[in-house]
Structure 1
């Protein structure tokens, strides 16, 4: 498979011993699908509670979004608290704040108790605006009302002036793979074991069947379409990151309130610069790595690029993750998804809720995060927007005529062409070697879009991604797309 994705600084610094694939049928108390932070933390808690637990990972552990995070452990999740109060009420907004503040403390407790060296640092987190101080002031008031230590400031360590920033105290950052390295040793993990389907209490894989009393789907995006219908209630967004040397240190973590803005944190002697976000399948050339490259040159002209990478995040229709029973009709099937770029605190919250639910303990946050909620004020507009995107990918895009033909695609470029009345995706390497693929996503049949910055085919409906030779990169799809070498 072409290595179209760069390696994150976390992956460069920390590797894991390979785990064997599943070999034959097994029976356990709990089976967890997905070897990222959420799945591994849940397994860690359940094993501590005495349950026989296994983790099934389609590739290798942390190979999905966990290795691509910016690794901020924070309750500051964009302009969220004022919206939560408006849409969920003050009590539930305060519950959300407390759940995430508690997640920070649980990380710290585990790290201290086990003596884990993972560059864990307590630092303030800032959400800033370049345009409007009023939205920041409202967020400060809302966060304080939710019990968070938040203040307004215009004084930051950023290389530009801001209209205002909300500062959260006692937040944290770390090296996530160093953390996981120390907690996964006692866990039973099967790598290169893809869950193909779930039949009641049995997970079907090519290597064997796993019978479990409880099953957790922590595979980033839920791959079971029905029941649950998560594909109607979420979308995915991409963001881009660079690690830079020869940059000044920062006093904390920073993020623009705008989706298109920049994110900052330090790690050792490096700056982790992020941004360029967009909905998967709707990227414009130059807005991802190109935008970061321009920002780095402008604000840190002496910088040295160490590495770059990208991430993908699931967004729910009301901005609160889905954690709990997969559907009302599947009492022993659970899900954790929709962390909206805040997967570190989201994973810890998930592990706490799910491990309690599975062991019969009432968790104070499970009703807030239940996947079966529907807040009309928070969800209706987003639900209609999701429906519009799916309709476009399934119908409108497929009906649009294509003017390009094979000879109109230059070397080093890709795009959709039409030959003999049939659409296909084409990428030509710089030497002219040509790769042709189907542009129909193997998830639900939406038309794929070419991602020129990462040389991938991305689904604008649900976020599945494929290499230019057709191999699956990101779910919810489970199968590759058809490939031919021209």
Structure 2
């Protein structure tokens, strides 16, 4: 399955070579299937628990979805807190948002400890009402976040125009968010992982997993080996064991501009997104480029030609010019990439309900990196015999769609 198409920006920011193939052990405590953001954060976290860990990826690490990730990191979600409360109840919804905020803090701590520079910068986020019809929803969300102690402010139309330069009915400002170079971040995580004794096997596909006495036999394209536990962090691709349900795979478009002469003319280089769906989102980069995404489509396959990517790139440019008419932007890179959305807007994290020692971290949604950090901690607890007190919120066998009674992401 092709998961991106077009000209990617992030891989141009870091030259990497295939990693040295380590001497393989017969048995590991944990094998991680997938070398993207989720796999990297799991590897970083697990090895610090004293576990022996190996990572397998059929490509070079970070070459899948991570190379197309736009790197906006926020504790707010595609589903607003007040709407999530209606869906799963106040206690669980608030706890889930608290976990997202905690994951943001953890990501910042991790970034500071890594070798190299993942270009991780703290930023506020501006979530604006796209039109007057959404103004009430935005303000209701602000009051809900404030009530439960989340760091945020509300800007009315006048304040928003003064701070950001565009005219919209109002906006929530959230604090504690960030931007990152996802390609550098994943590679820095794996550099650290290797320094701590972890093993990475690139260009090696995991084909099957079988129970064998008290161990798992992992069948790979380079031969078999064993593990006590296996963690699937395969992102938007088909898992090698089981069947994915409870989620949709769609596609989105991104452009990256030529460098600006100066930093963007808005409040503290904030991350920008809006209330309508599909939403436009904007961030800056360390090279003073703008990374702009949106125009989501309910199609999993990549466009059959570059014409659609070029067309959507021009549409994104025009949307930004509508907000900032005097901003001189020119497109340098444009691409299309897959993304996953669960039916209930939450990630899937935990042990398979019927396959012992098979774990999954599938961070579907706009907050994938935040979910990956959250999931890495939850799974680290599970793998070492501890139960995370909030794991039930994102477990695999929850009801994700009451109308069709789907109860698990994998079968």
Do the two structures share a fold, i.e. TM-score over 0.5?
A: yes
Distance 1:255 1:30, change over 3 A: same
1:122 matched to 2:137? The reply is: no
1:263 matched residue in structure 2: 281
Q: What TM-score results when the alignment is normalised by the length of structure 2?
A: 0.84
Distance 1:225 1:83, change over 3 A: farther
Q: Is the 8 A contact 1:97 1:147 kept in 2?
A: no
Residues 268-417 of structure 1: pairs in structure 2 closer than 5 A: 268=286, 269-281=288-300, 288-296=312-320, 298=322, 299=325, 302-326=328-352, 328-374=353-399, 379-381=401-403, 383=404
1:192 matched to 2:192? The reply is: no
1:392 matched residue in structure 2: none
2:85 matched residue in structure 1: 85
Cα distance, 1:338 vs. partner? 4.1
Moved more, 144-153 or 60-69: 144-153
- Distance (Å, rounded) in 2 between the aligned partners of 1:158 and 1:101: 24
Q: Is the 8 A contact 2:70 2:182 kept in 1?
A: no
Q: What do the CA deviations read for 1:430-453 (whole angstroms, capped 9, x no partner)? A: xxxxxxxxxxxxxxxxxxxxxxxx
Q: What do the CA deviations read for 1:279-332 (whole angstroms, capped 9, x no partner)? A: 124999587334214335554663122212233221111111000012x21120
Cα distance, 1:53 vs. partner? 0.6
Cα distance, 1:118 vs. partner? 2.3
Cα distance, 1:365 vs. partner? 2.5
2:56 matched residue in structure 1: 56
SS of the residue 2:103 aligns to: helix
Q: What do the CA deviations read for 1:53-110 (whole angstroms, capped 9, x no partner)? A: 1001011111111111111121111342112111111111111111111111111112
SS of the residue 2:111 aligns to: helix
- Distance (Å, rounded) in 2 between the aligned partners of 1:94 and 1:174: 26
1:171 matched to 2:177? The reply is: yes
Q: What do the CA deviations read for 1:231-264 (whole angstroms, capped 9, x no partner)? A: 3x11012111111133734430011222323101
- How many residues are paired up? 380
Q: What TM-score results when the alignment is normalised by the length of structure 1?
A: 0.71
Q: Is the 8 A contact 2:57 2:203 kept in 1?
A: yes
Cα distance, 1:222 vs. partner? 6.4
Q: Is the 8 A contact 2:30 2:52 kept in 1?
A: yes
Distance 1:224 1:78, change over 3 A: closer
Cα distance, 1:25 vs. partner? 8.0
Where relative contact order (Cα < 8 A, 6+ residues apart) is larger, the structure is 2
SS of the residue 2:6 aligns to: coil
5+ residue gaps, structure 1: 387-461, 463-475, 477-486
5+ residue gaps, structure 2: none
Task: Tell me how large the CA RMSD over aligned residues is.
Answer: 2.9
2:232 matched residue in structure 1: 217
1:230 matched to 2:244? The reply is: yes
